[in-house]
Every structure is written in structure tokens, then in C-alpha cells.
Structure 1
């Protein structure tokens, strides 16, 4: 919490909030003194001018205290909201820089909770810090001192009430704080189940598992609810107990004070002032105890947010002095030299001894069975993961010596899952090139075989719903491919992005790619399951359990490589092979 406050609070605004708080406390503490004088010198002596004078004085002090309280509330609340705004921005910016490793370490649902619920907890406590956390101890100590100055003999009442109050607060904190900390983890659990239910709703319905998923969510929701009920019941228990203790304290003060007044050893005004100070002491103690209950929960949230902000990023840029720049006139190339890669904590290499090189105008195809490492290989090119050993170069430069910004400028990729953003077709294409003209967009759509259905949908300004749900799977893939094509790059990667296309559309799209002048000056990498998709590539890499078991053209591999022969025999029909050959000739 201290670290977050130091980094995100504005100095002058925080100073004003504290200054206004001191003014408010001074006014609150001064009012009982004025009240005492008004009673003793005005009411008791029936001095009307003193009553008017002290009454007006009280109104003035109260007005100043009210204005100061308003100023404190304004600056405290605005600072708390701005801290939340800054934290959300910092978390979002940090998460965008995470590699898949860091995202997997936290989990999607936990990251969502940390950027929403946890930051809200920090905001709420930040207001309390600038309001009650500073005000309560100052008020408590000052009121005790002033009460003692007014009448030391009555302070004996506090020797009984304050220890009882402290014991009650300690007991409540002992049981409530762990419950509040666990609420955040249970919030993660609810978000996880709810998110899985939303993203997997079709699977749930297809397997008729609605009842099981509802019961799963019900258990998590009930667990969260019961924990919250226990925690807030314990906290709520403080209010009636403190009210009872405050009332009994006032009773004790009145009993002792009445005896002193009867003995003519204390004035009535001092008793009234002392009771006011006693009320301030008890309320300050109550506010302080509430802060001690909620601060640990916010501290747990702050630790969770700091864990995101301070998480070491596994894929980082090289030092500025070691970075290199790529000459835009350098011919495109992609080179893997003795590359090995393993996932964190894995005993076995995921990819072993990868060696190949492709140049501008060439197409590299990667094929293999499920789990052979095809997507892992292409994810190494934009440094979504870092290799264990070896070297990957693009346009003659090692990718580790390029800044990630420069590296990603050289690469345009279509991932396995076609992701579209809420907006329009135009706004989605502008992700690839924000300065693209309408003609360039339509050109990319034509290459991706998407122009026809885009025209039917209403053109470039046709709406795209969340995740592109208003388009079919094949249409989403083609829009994602168009977004990849429209970006000027040296390496174009299509990670199994033709899987939802029929054979005819697949062939026409690849033919359009080969004929496009922009693509002809670059390296094209295609990951595919179908032999017909990779048959016309200049270099085909056959992967099996992370190892290259074959390299060459379709004809070479079909004649010499058993693994490739098995894939051909299991997939391709004679007609498909002839069609692939005709496509290559075209």
C-alpha cells in the first residue's frame, strides 16, 4: 500500500487533503471548549451577550470545520479515484507486455480480478487513509489530552472502557482479517467459472452439462457468500458493541461528574466538554478499528496488484547499447540456426535442433501431427517465447538484438484462433495498418477471399460484434488474414489459419498470395494440417514430437520421407493431389 501510495498520489493534492483534515480536527476539538465557556459563563450566569457571542463563535468554527471537511473529502476522493485510474492503466500496460508465460502464471480470471476488484479495494482504503486513518489517531490522542486537561478525575472511566474496546477489536480482527483476505481468492474462483461458462457455453449445451456447470458455479458462489457473511457479520458486530461501550462510558462519566458537581469541585461546562471529548475518543477508536479491519484486505489486494506490476518479464529487450536496427532495404529472410526450446519446468525439449533458412519470395510450410510443435515454432519468430539455445534471425539480424517494437514491425501474423474486436471491419483492418486507405483494405480483402461477404454485410463500416460472433468461423479467419496482409512486413505468418476454409477457397487464397507483388518480396510461413495447403510451398518442414524429421519440397518428401508419406496417404486423394499440382503451376 505504501509503495502504491508513494508512486501514484499527487503531492500537492495529498498535502491539501491532510491540511484540510488538520483544520477539521482542530475545529472539532475546539468546539467543546467553546461549549464549556458558553454553559459556564453564559447559561449558568444568565449572560445573554456571552451566549450570543459564544454561539456566533461556535457557528463560525463549525462553518470552518465544515468547509475543511468538504475540502478534505474532495481531495481525498479525487486522489483515491486517480490512484485507481493510474493503477488500472499500469496493470493493463504491463499485461500487454506479458509473454504467454506470465499470463499463464497468473491466469486470465485472476488478472481480471486484480485489475478490477482489487484496485477498487485499494481505492476505498485510500479514501479512508486520507480521511479516517490520519484523522482518527490525531483526534484520539488530542481528545484524550484535552479531556485530561479538562478533568483528570473523570479519565478513570477510560481505564475501563478503552481496554474492553481494544479486546473486542482485537478479537474481531483476529477472525475477520483472514476472511477478508480469502474473499479475493474466492472472487478469482467465481470469475474463472463464470468466464469458462461464457466462453464454453456451446460446449456446455452440446454435452448437456448445464446442470453440472450451474451446480459448480452455485458452490463457488455459496462459498463466497458464506465467507462474506461471516466477515461482514463480525465487522457489523463492532458497531452495537461500541455503541454499548460508548453509552456505558457516558453513564460512568455522568455518575462521577454529577458527584463532583454536587461537591462543587467541577463546573457543568467541564462535564459537557468532557462528555463531548469522550464521544470523540470512542468514535475515533471505532473508526481506527474499522480501518484496521479493512486495511489488511486492501493490503492483500495491493500485494496482488504489485505482483502484476513487478512480475519479471521473461521476454525483454536487449540493453539499448546492444540493440540493432534493420535496414528497410534489406532483403527479407528467416533463418533458424540450431534452435532448441523448452517450456518452463519441462524436462523434455519442445523443439529440438531446428535448422532451416528461407529468403524473400519463398514460402515455408510446416506440417505435422497434433502436438508436434508447429504453433510453438511460429510463436518463436515474434518472440512470444524465448529460445533456450541457438539463434533466430530475420533479415540477417538476430531477433534478440531487435527491440520488440522493431521486431513486431517486421512480422505480421494470423494466430490459430481468429480474434476480432468490437467495432467495424474498417477498425479491425486498421489494427494491421492504421493508415491504410480504402483501396488497400479492399485489396487485402480480395486476396483473403473476403470482399464478397464484406460487401453483402454493408462494406468496410459493417459492424463487428464482440469476438466477431456475427460472422462464421471461415469469415472470421478470412478477415483476420486480410488484417495480416494489409500490414507491411518482411515475414507473414499464417498459423493454421486456413483450417476453416474449403479446398477451393484455400487454393484461391494461396494463389492470390503468391501473385501479390507485396507478398512476393517477403517470406511467407504457413502452418497447416492439410497436405493440399502446403504442397506448393518452396520448403516444407515435417515435425514430429518437436524434431524435424523431413525438409524439402512436396515431391521430394513424398518420394523420400516416411512421415510425410503417411500424412499424404491418410489425407490426400488423387484428385486433391492433382488439384494442388495445378494450383502450383498456375
Structure 2
């Protein structure tokens, strides 16, 4: 846990917390001795002025203890919250820069748990360490020493009580720690099932699996609940057992202390002070035990977070990255014998892909489900890195380009149209923050989205709900396309982005793309399922099981390529069946 705290907390604040905690404990340790003096030298002798004098000292030490405690709490809270804030920021920064390979290794639900619940566990332990873990050893040592100075014979009582307390705490820790550690894994499971239920609610309803999903969530929820109940039942035994040990210790102290007082070997005030020190010793021991209960759970959380930080990216970043100019009028995209294999996969997803595209050209990629279309275009912005072969943009190997520059040169429309909460204008400016309203309206016009945007009274200021939930599937897709067109890029990539559009809108949109002056200076890459969408492309790539089995124009492939012919015939049969 100390590893992830390094560099994320203020060491001056930690030192300050230690100093103020030491002052607080010293002030508290002086109070029993002053009480002893009042009883021995004031009450026993009837000296009222001495009682007032020592009483004022006690008030001073109490105020000093309160002030020191407030400063310690402030610094401890500030340190723990700063640690939490920095951890969340660093996790988010690390995750947002993951390649898709790293995303495939850790589930989204687990990443959410690590960023929220795990960080909270570490925050809680941080403040506990700066409070209880500091206070307990200082008070334990100080109280034990002062108790010994009051009467060394009575300290023999601790020879029995402390080992007994240690046995009780040890047994509790043995059974409780594994349960605490299991809580995080069970939290992951609940988050995963809950997230799947929310994102897949339409599928669940369509297949009438509501009860199945409810039962699945109930099972995970019950498992988590039962574990929490068990650990709380176990921990509920802690305080009664500790109180029993403490009460037994006080009885023994009073019993033997009374004998010492009767034998004139000990003063009454010293017995009162000794009892107070005994309580402080036992309370310190209890606080330490509580710390050791919480630390294993926080340690488990720290390991889970550190696993995110330790995840090595498969993506290599050039030390002196080259650059391309998205605004240039002459671009070239070249795939040269490119191979790619997903992590731990036996077979390659792409094998020996070679083609070239230039400014003004439209490259269409078509093939059956699982043929590697999305895998291929995911290599262009380096969502994944090639296994072998090279991809160059404007003569530069994309592995030698800076990621920021490379992705600035590419405008990407994914299969799933994703919009963000805010206004439509904010969404349209996502790729180009300085985009004017005129540029946005122009992009909306090309994407065939201007009409329904103009119908809204708020226009570009209309509200966009999370995920674009207040738009239909076709509207979301057109808005996602418009967002990509607002950005000036060397390569425009459309990953099956026309699937939700009707044939007329699809044809009109592609006609607008071909007619746009800026698009004519760029390279357009389209992944599609429909022959009608790819028929007018300058170059069509036909994929089958990750291999390039044909390339050429629509007329060429229709005459000579069996896979392309099969796709045409299957779609013609579908149309005939309708």
C-alpha cells in the first residue's frame, strides 16, 4: 500500500499529523498524573488552592489536546482525501491511455470497482493510520511507562491481560481477514451483473429473461450480503470480548490496589491514575487490532489498483515521433503484409493484408461476420498494434508517429454510435474544439442530420442525454458521422456506420461525401455489410477469415471473385424473400 501512496501524498502533511498526534497523546498522558496529584496532595490534605492550581493545568492540557487533535484530524483527512483524488486521477489517466489489448485483460466492472470502492478502502485506512495507528503505539508505550512509575507491582496484571487480549484479537483476525478480502471480488461480481443488466436491458426484455437476470443478480447480492453479515457477526464479538478482558483487568487492579493501599504501599491517587493508564494501554492495544483488521482489506485493494498501474502497454511510443499534416492535400495510407493476432489467440485475426489508398479515394471493406473488418480498421488509429508488417501514413510508419498526432490525423466513427451528455454543439466539437456553427451545420448537412436538428427549438443547444438516449438509432448514427466530419482529418474511417440508415439516406450521404471538397483531399475507409454501400468505392477489399481474398472495383469483383459473388447473391435472395 505504501507503494501506491508514494508521490501521491504530502509528506509535510504526514509529518505534521505525526507531530500533532504526539502532542495530543502527551497531553492526554499528563491528565491521569495530574488527577493523581489532586487526590494525593489536594483532596487528602484539603488544600483547595492546590486543587485549583492543578485543575487549571488540567484544563490547559485538555485544550492543548483538543487543538492538537483538530489539527491532526484536519491533516489526516486532507492527506487521505488527496491520496484518493490522486489515485482516481492516475487510474483514469492510465485506463484512458490503454490500448484495446489492455482493456481486454480487465473487465470494465472491475475497473469501476477499483476506481471507486478500492480507492475508498485505501482512503479509510490512510486516515486510520494517521489517527489510530499513530496514537496507539505512542499511547501504549507512554501509558505503560507511566503506569510502571506509579506502581511496578500492579503492572504484573498486564502479563495476563495483554496475552489474553492478543489471543482474542488473533482468532478474530484469522477468520475475519479472508472475509474482508473476499468483499472486493464479490463487489466486482455485483457491479458486472448490474452493468450487464443495464446495458443489455432491451435484449433481456426481448428474450423474456427478466426473471433469470433477477435471479442471477439476487444470487450475487445474497452472496455478498451473507459474507458481509458473517464478517459483521464475527466482528461484533470483538468489543464484548475486549470489554470482558478490560473489565477483568480493572477488577484485578482494584483488588490488588486496595491491598497495596491497605498496606500503605500505594496512594489512592496513584491507583486512580494507574487505572486510567490501564484503560489507555488496553484501548491502544484494541486500536492496533482494529488497524490490523482494516489493513488486509486495504492491502487487497492496493494490489488490485497496483495491478492496473503495472499493466504494461503493448503499444510502443517513439522517443522522437514523426508527424503528419492532416490539412495536407496529398495523403497515402499503405498496409504492407500486415498480420495481427489477439492476445492469447491461437489463430491470427488478420493475415498478410496489403493495399494502398490515396487522397480522394474511397476504400470499402466487406466480408462475412468475423472476417476481420473491424480488426483491420482498428489498426489504423493504433487501437491495436500489428504483430508483423507495417502500416504507413504519408510515408511514415504509424508506430513512429506520436499517438496524439496520429489520432489527430484520423477521424473515426465506431460501430456503436456513442454520444455524450451535454449539448449537441459540445458533441459536435468533440473532435475540433474550435469548430464554428457554420462548420457544424455543414457536417450535419452532409450526414443528413440537419433537418431533424433544425426542427428542435434549441437547435445546436439541444440537450443530449447519456449515450444519446433521446435520439433514434439512425439519428445517433448520423450525428456520430457528422461529429467525425467536423474534424479535419487525413483519413476518415466509418466502421459499419451506415447500417442503421435506409438505402436512400445511405446513398444521399455517400453522394455528399464524394462531393465535399475537403473529403476529396482525404482518404475514406468504409466498413459495410451492404453491397449498395460499397459498390461505388474506388477500391473494395474482400475479407474472409482474416485474409484478403479479393480487391478491386465492384465490376471487377462481381465478375471474378467468388466470395464477393456469394455476398451479392445472398443479399439478392434476401431482397427477393422480402
TM-score (norm 1): 0.96
> In the alignment, which residue of structure 2 is the partner of 1:332?
331
Secondary structure of 2:346's aligned partner: coil
Q: Does 1:400 align with 2:389?
A: no
Change (3 A) 1:536 1:330: closer
SS in 1 for 2:338: strand
Equivalent in the alignment of 2:120:
120
Q: What is the CA distance between 1:575 and its match in structure 2?
A: 10
Match of 2:459 in 1: 459
Aligned residue for 2:7, secondary structure, equals helix
Q: Give runs of aligned pairs for residues 217-228 of structure 1, distance below 5 A.
A: 217-228=217-228
Report the equivalent of 1:238.
Answer: 238
Pair 1:200–1:329, CA change in 2 (3 A): closer
Asked whether the equivalents of residues 541 and 552 of structure 1 are also in contact (C-alpha less than 8 Å), the reply is yes
After TM superposition, give the deviation of residue 403 of structure 1 in Å: 1.1
> How much does 1:144 deviate?
1.0
Give the distance between the partners of 1:212 and 1:527, measured in 2 at CA.
36
CA contact (8 A) 1:421 1:465 kept: yes
Alignment pair present for 1:481 and 2:481? yes
Provide the residue aligned with 2:56 in structure 1.
Answer: 56
Cα drift, residue 310 of structure 1: 2.1
Contact 1:531 1:572 (C-alpha < 8 Å) held by counterparts? no
Please say if residues 330 and 395 of structure 1, whose CA atoms lie closer than 8 Å, have aligned partners that are also in contact: no
Q: How far is 1:115 from its partner?
A: 0.3
Deviations 1:55-102 (A, max 9, x none): 010000010001100110111011111111111111111110011221
1:77 aligns with 2:77: yes
Tell me by how many angstroms 1:332 deviates.
1.1
Structure 1 partner of 2:368: 369
Tell me how far 1:574 sits from its aligned partner. Answer: 13
1:291 lines up with 2:297 in the alignment: no
Q: Structure 2 matches for 1:168-567, cutoff 5 A?
A: 168-318=168-318, 320-321=319-320, 323-327=321-325, 329=328, 331-457=330-456, 458-567=458-567
d(CA) in 1 for partners of 2:305, 2:454? 45
Q: TM-score, normalised by structure 2?
A: 0.98
Per-residue deviation, residues 355-389 of structure 1 (Å, max 9, x unmatched):
10000000000000000000000000001011110
Give the direction of change, closer, same or farther, for the CA distance of 1:575–1:109 in structure 2 (3 Å limit): closer
Per the TM alignment, residue 326 of structure 1 is displaced from its structure 2 partner at its CA by 2.2
For structure 1, which segment, 283-292 or 323-332, has the greater mean C-alpha deviation from structure 2 after superposition? Answer: 323-332
For residues 223 and 492 of structure 2, the distance between their equivalents in structure 1, rounded to whole angstroms, comes to 49
Q: Distance in 2 between matches of 1:207 and 1:441?
A: 40
Q: Partners in 2 of 1:360 and 1:206 — Cα distance?
A: 45
Query: Residues 377 and 44 from structure 1, CA distance in 2 versus in 1: closer, same or farther, beyond 3 angstroms?
Result: same
Whether the aligned pair in 1 keeps the contact of 2:329 and 2:521 (CA below 8 Å) is: no
SS of the equivalent of 1:152 reads coil
SS state at 2:498 partner: coil
Distance of aligned partners of 1:147 and 1:257 in 2 relative to their CA distance in 1, 3 Å threshold: same
What's the CA shift for 1:6? 2.3
Query: 2-side partners of 1:243 and 1:564: how far apart?
Result: 81
Gaps of 5+ in 1: 577-586
**Is the Cα contact below 8 Å between 2:360 and 2:519 reproduced in 1?**
yes
Q: 2:448 is paired with a residue of what secondary structure?
A: coil
| SS of structure 2 residue aligned to 1:540 | strand
**1:170-227 CA deviation, whole Å, 9 max, x = no partner?**
0000000000000000000000000001011111111111111111111100000011
What SS does structure 2 have at the residue aligned with 1:549? strand
Instruction: Find the aligned partners of 1:282 and 1:234 in 2 and give their Cα distance.
Output: 20
Alpha-carbon RMSD across the aligned residues, in angstroms, is 1.3
Instruction: Give how far 1:316 is off.
Output: 3.2
Contact kept in structure 2, 1:100 and 1:385, CA below 8 Å = yes
Show the counterpart of 1:39. Answer: 39
Q: Distance in 2 between matches of 1:303 and 1:212?
A: 34
SS in 2 for 1:106: coil
> SS of the residue aligned with 2:284?
helix
Q: Provide the C-alpha distance between the structure 1 equivalents of 2:154 and 2:542, rounded to a whole number of angstroms.
A: 90
Mapped partners of 2:47, 2:473: distance in 1: 89
| Deviations 1:433-461, CA, capped at 9 Å, x for gaps | 11000000000000000000111233101
Q: Distance in 1 between matches of 2:204 and 2:350?
A: 34
Moved more, 3-12 or 241-250: 3-12
Once the two structures are TM-superposed, the CA of residue 572 in structure 1 deviates from its matched residue by 4.1
**Preserved CA contact (<8 Å) 1:419 1:467:** yes
Q: Distance in 1 between matches of 2:511 and 2:5?
A: 58
Asked if 2 retains the 8 angstrom alpha-carbon contact of 1:114 and 1:304, the reply is yes
Q: Distance in 2 between matches of 1:309 and 1:516?
A: 45
Paired with 1:314 and 1:445, the residues of 2 have a C-alpha distance of 37
Q: What residue is the counterpart of 1:583 in the other structure?
A: none
Deviations 1:509-551 (A, max 9, x none): 0000011111000000000000000000000000000001100
SS at match of 1:418: coil
Partners of 1:332 and 1:129 lie apart in 2 by 59
The residue matched to 2:434 in structure 1 has which SS? coil
The size of the alignment, in residue pairs, is: 574
CA distance in 1, matches of 2:244, 2:7: 41
Q: What is the SS of the residue equivalent to 2:461?
A: coil
Q: Which runs of 5+ in 2 are unaligned?
A: none
Q: Matches of 2:123 and 2:575 in 1, distance apart? A: 66
